């Protein structure tokens, strides 16, 4: 991972702002979710513009031109059209034209899926440099009158540049899972729900608290490493209470866990890559980062990255 970048919706929306339009309060939101503010897109912004901005920042951080990228993978559930893919539009915008480009739809687990796809293609030799993006403008699908979901979500994008040149570091293991039997617990785009997002918050919470530590423990066990060797765990930023409950099960100290849901809310597939700019400069070679995603589908995925 040689470059990282992020982009956020241009409008900061605090809990106090939501108090004026919903039957809710700052205390209710912050106590139950850990969220204090989130970012909403403004005029001229959408999933594509956020993804392109984050991608350009990641390429600049890596010090490489877009023309050097030979694979673009974008995790998103909120592209402005079913075709073309967001990844295709990203490639055109950054100069990665004529290379492989595909979207991955796995909801909030999307970036972990995309990282598995891209790193596997690098390992196989299909590509040598990949741009991997998680981007969602959740305000496009959230019913802003529904206080059970409107307080949770924000808009953003995160991008990373993966290079196959350094065999001493990179993604070394992945877990991917899904269970369509739990599809009724969360969905969007169904005409019966006005095409807006629905979730059974209680059941999704229970699922996430269970699957999160299971994936971490599985990655550690099958790769023969300990939690002491892990520098950071980056969870999907759905809800601070989910993260805290999972960390108690794992007995992980707070300083190992990256949390920014308080600032950005739940940005779906973007929440994990949005976190990388906060920690990238502090990464210690030889240690590990674990990323964990879980979302509608229901889907789940985790990645083990050696720094």
Which positions are annotated as active-site residues? Answer: 108, 236, 266
d(CA 146, CA 198): 9
d(CA 97, CA 91): 6
**Distant-in-sequence, close-in-space partners of 105: CB < 8 Å, separation ≥ 6:** 75, 76, 77
Q: Which two tokens stand for residue 30?
A: 């912050």
Q: Which two tokens stand for residue 63?
A: 């010090």
DSSP conformation letters of 62-120: HT--GGG--EEEEE-S--SSSSS-HHHHHHHHHT-TTSEEEEE--GGGHHHHHHHHHHH
DSSP 3-state assignment of 181? helix
Half-sphere exposure of 58 (CA within 13 A, CB side): 36
């Amino acid at each position: 991972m040689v470059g990282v970048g992020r982009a956020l919706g241009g409008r900061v929306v605090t809990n106090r702002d939501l108090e004026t339009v919903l039957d809710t309060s700052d205390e209710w939101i912050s106590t139950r979710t850990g969220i204090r503010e989130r970012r909403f897109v403004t005029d001229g912004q959408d999933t594509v513009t956020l993804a392109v901005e984050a991608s350009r920042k990641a390429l600049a951080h890596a010090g490489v031109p877009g023309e050097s990228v030979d694979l673009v993978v974008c995790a998103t559930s909120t592209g402005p059209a079913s075709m073309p893919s967001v990844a295709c539009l990203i490639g055109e915008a950054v100069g990665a034209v004529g290379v492989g480009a595909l979207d991955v739809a796995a909801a909030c687990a999307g970036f972990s899926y995309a990282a598995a796809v891209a790193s596997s293609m690098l390992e196989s030799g299909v590509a040598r440099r990949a741009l991997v993006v998680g981007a969602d403008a959740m305000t496009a699908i959230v019913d802003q009158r529904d206080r059970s979901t409107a307080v949770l979500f924000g808009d953003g994008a995160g991008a990373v540049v993966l290079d196959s040149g350094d065999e001493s570091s990179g993604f070394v293991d992945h877990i991917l899972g899904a269970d369509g039997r739990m599809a009724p617990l969360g969905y969007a785009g169904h005409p019966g729900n006005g095409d807006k997002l629905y979730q059974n918050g209680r059941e999704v919470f229970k699922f996430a608290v269970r699957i999160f530590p299971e994936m971490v423990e599985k990655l550690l066990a099958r790769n023969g490493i300990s939690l002491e060797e892990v520098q950071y765990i980056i969870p999907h930023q759905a809800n601070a209470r989910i993260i805290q409950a999972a960390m108690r099960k794992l007995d992980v100290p707070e300083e190992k866990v990256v949390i920014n849901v308080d600032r950005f809310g739940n940005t779906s597939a973007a929440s994990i890559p949005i976190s990388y700019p906060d920690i990238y400069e502090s990464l210690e070679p030889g240690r590990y980062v674990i990323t964990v995603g879980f979302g509608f589908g229901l889907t789940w995925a985790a990645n083990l990255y050696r720094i």
